[in-house]
Structure formats: structure tokens, C-alpha cells
Amino acid sequence: MRKLNVGAIGCGYWGPNFIRNFIEIPEADLRAIADLDQGQLDHLQTRYPSIEIATKDYRDFFALGLDAVVISTPPETHFSIAQECLLHGLHVLVEKPLTINSHQARELITLAEKHDRVLMVGHLFEYNSSVHTLKKIIESGELGDIFYIDAVRASLGLFHPTLNVIWDLAPHDISILNYLLGDVPLNVSARGSACVHRAVEDVAYVTLMYPNNLLAHLRLSWLDPHKTRRITVVGNKKMAVFDDVESLEKVRVYNKGVKAIRRTDTYGEFQFAYHYGDVVSPYIHFEEPLHSECLHFLECVRQRKKPLTDGYNGLRVVNVIEAAQRSLKNGGRAVPIEPTPVHMLNGHPSSKAVTNGIYIGG
């Protein structure tokens, strides 16, 4: 089997993780890297001598006969770089968020389809075995009907100079929630505060309303003393927590709950019946999620398959963030989320149904 030739664009904080993974995967040849920072290029080429070309201009890649590129540059640059790479016949894996507006995301989807190239977005948690386990638990019915979901993603830094904390952190949680629920939210409201840098919100509270009145809340912060990466799913039978900061028991299922019981002898009064049971942490086989993501990308390129996190998946997340930004500017008013048009869903492998132009699928 021929190795796929890969180039990496953007070698800052996150890019080197892709470089390491593609170098470790035997089916890939990470031949070239690009970054504006010469020091970083030199450092990476010294560390990985198998890299043939290190350049400040990613356009140099276009003469190398590469199959694919991975883009981990700042989000504002994703669209133009991905567009150019697709136009040059390359398959593209773009870091989250796919783009910084839905118009750009749609353009990339159309371009990839026109040129029969794979377009994938790096929604890392959809390749995370703990998230897969949580989805299985929800789908098994063990938790019962889901009442609400709470997600917290907070720590101190890293501050982004121009895009706020919602653009930076919410793509993870929105992609997780859409994946877990197999659905997209109907509306979003967001409040935030720019505490350190006056123009860029570093703390935000985002409320998503999914169909069937399923409420989800995201707390996002670059300004918190504790690193927290936690998702709590509360059902009418049990509750489950995915805590990514835990080293071992990342998913726990709590046999806890409460029921309101109307007392028959005293009209109009309720009593609450609480139950407390076991806490169970299922065994989860650990694989580095980024490794699984890179393998999936290569498989999609080789077999011309639609990725699990394809352009549509990226668009659905961008739609939510775009609406959240409008809400943020309007004092937290609930903003309806742009439905993904039906014509953009044709051929999407994971689509289960399309209702009133709204994508309902996993």
C-alpha cells in the first residue's frame, strides 16, 4: 500500500501534535511543514529529521505532489488556506473551528465536493473513546430520558488575541453534544464578559436548547484557577459524568435520582423520593484521540469516504457559534440557529432524517 504524503501547515501550539502523529503512523509520510516562524520550523526539523521540506510559505507544498494537508493555523486563516489547498487538489483536515463564519464553511464544502476531495474538521472529541462510551450509555437508555446537560471547559489561558472564548472552546462542547444527542440545537443564548482584554470575551455562559426541551449549558472560561473539562448528563433514571481531567475513571455513572410524588392524603403537596445507588466507572480502552482522528482522515482519503466530522459537521458547529455571537451582542437574547439546508445534506452518510430543512442526525 502506497504511503500517503502529508504536509502540515501551522506549527505553533497544536500543529506539532499532528506532526508527531502523522510521523508515527506507518501509512503516512509527513514530508513537509509550513509556518511563518522560522525558529519553530528549525526546531521541528531538528526533532524530526525525516521532514524533507520546512517552509515559511505553504504554497511551496503545491509542487511536492502531496496527497493531503492538515491545517492548524489561527481560525481566521482556515478558510483561505483550505480553499487554496482544495483548489490545488489536496485533501484537507482543518482544525476547529472549520471557519469563522457559515458562509465560508459552505464554500469549502461546495469546493471539496466539486473537486472530489476530502474535507474534514478536527472535532477531536468525536474520536475520543470516553465520549463514545458516554454516547453508548445514553443510547442504551440506562440514564432514562435526558433532562439536561451541563458542560464546563475552564482553565487559566491560553488567551486568543482576536477571537473570543466561545470561538476557542465551544467547538469542542457543541460537537460533543451534537454527537451525543444525534441532533442540533434550535436556539442559543450567550452572555459573556471581557475581563482581561477589553475587546475579547474571556468568560462566557452559553445556553443551547435542543429539540424536546432538552437544555444544555456551557461554561467557558480562560480565567479560572481550576482546569475543568467536564460534561454532566442528567437523566430521569441515572446521571453520568465525563471528566477528561481524571486520569483513570473518566466516565462515571451515578445511580442517583429524584422523583416528585404527589401525596394522596394531603391535597396539592409533593414529596420527593430520592434514590442513591452505586457509582460505576466502565472500563475504557484508551487510544490517543488525535491518533484515531489522523487514522480516520487517512482512511477517508484512501477510500474517498466522507469523514465522521466532515464539512457539514463543521458547518453545524459554526452555525451555533455564529448565532451565539449574535446573542452575545444582544444581551443574551435567544437566537435561532440557522438550519443546515437540505440540498447541502445530500449524500451525507450519517444523516438519519431531514425535517423542515433541519438536519436531524448523528
* Residue 281 is a binding residue for ligand NAD (CB under 6 A): no
* Residue 122 is a binding residue for ligand NAD (CB under 6 A): yes
**Nearest Cα residue to 105 out of 69, 138, 76, 79:** 79
* Residue 77 is a binding residue for ligand NAD (CB under 6 A): yes
* Residue 73 is a binding residue for ligand NAD (CB under 6 A): yes
* Residue 283 is a binding residue for ligand NAD (CB under 6 A): no
CB closer to ligand NAD out of 294 and 323:
294
* Residue 74 is a binding residue for ligand NAD (CB under 6 A): yes
Site string for ligand NAD, 150-179 (x = CB under 6 A): ------------------------------
Q: Which residues pair with 68 in a beta bridge?
A: 6, 91
**Nearest Cα residue to 169 out of 129, 221, 95:** 221
CB closer to ligand NAD out of 59 and 352:
59
* Residue 261 is a binding residue for ligand NAD (CB under 6 A): no
* Smallest separation (angstroms) from ligand NAD to the CB of 56: 7
* Smallest separation (angstroms) from ligand NAD to the CB of 13: 3
* Smallest separation (angstroms) from ligand NAD to the CB of 124: 4
* Smallest separation (angstroms) from ligand NAD to the CB of 336: 26
* Smallest separation (angstroms) from ligand NAD to the CB of 319: 17
Site string for ligand NAD, 32-71 (x = CB under 6 A): --xxxx--x-----------------x-------------
Distance of alpha carbon 203 from alpha carbon 196, whole angstroms: 10
* Smallest separation (angstroms) from ligand NAD to the CB of 335: 23
| Residue ranges that bind ligand NAD, judged by CB under 6 A | 9-15, 34-37, 40, 58, 72-75, 77, 95-96, 122, 124
